[in-house]
Amino acid sequence: NAGVTQTPKFRVLKTGQSMTLLCAQDMNHEYMYWYRQDPGMGLRLIHYSVGEGTTAKGEVPDGYNVSRLKKQNFLLGLESAAPSQTSVYFCASISESTYEQYFGPGTRLTVT
């Protein structure tokens, strides 16, 4: 039982490049989330999904897209990276029974 895993752990992009962050969970959770964490701002919700094939916007969705083609995977895409997207990205899933969010270890992204 690996919990929530994220790939990659680190990435450096040039402005305008694209990339996809992968989140995987093996707990059969319906709900999954992508957050970004910036100094002094806590965690802010980018997008979330309430089940396979569904996605919804969070607090700061601009510049990001997501897909949930399989229940266990939640992908976060940056089509044209900008320096403002330099951040640490966390994926999470929630247990519907305990309402506890389980977090991945994070992806540190730098856009130059």
Q: Binding residues for another protein, per CB under 8 A?
A: 4, 31, 33, 35, 40-45, 48, 50, 58, 90, 92, 94, 99-101, 103-106
Considering the complex, state which of residue 22 and residue 43 has its C-beta at the smaller distance from another protein. Answer: 43
CA distances from 83 to 51, 76, 78, 88 (A): 31, 17, 12, 13
Nearer CB in complex with another protein: 85/107: 107
Q: Which is nearer to another protein, 79 or 96 (CB)?
A: 96
Nearest distance from C-beta of residue 13 to another protein, angstroms: 20
In whole angstroms, the minimum distance from the beta carbon of 20 to another protein comes to 20
The residue behind tokens 């680190």 is 10
- Per-residue CA distances from 82 to 6, 59, 76, 92, 97 (Å): 21, 18, 15, 24, 38
Question: Phi then psi for 85, rounded to 5 degrees?
Answer: -95, 5
Nearer to another protein, 33 or 64 (CB): 33
Smallest distance, another protein to C-beta of residue 96, A: 8
CB of 16 to another protein, least distance (A): 28
Distance CA 71, CA 96 (A): 14
Under 8 Å CB-to-CB from 39, ≥6 apart: which residues? none
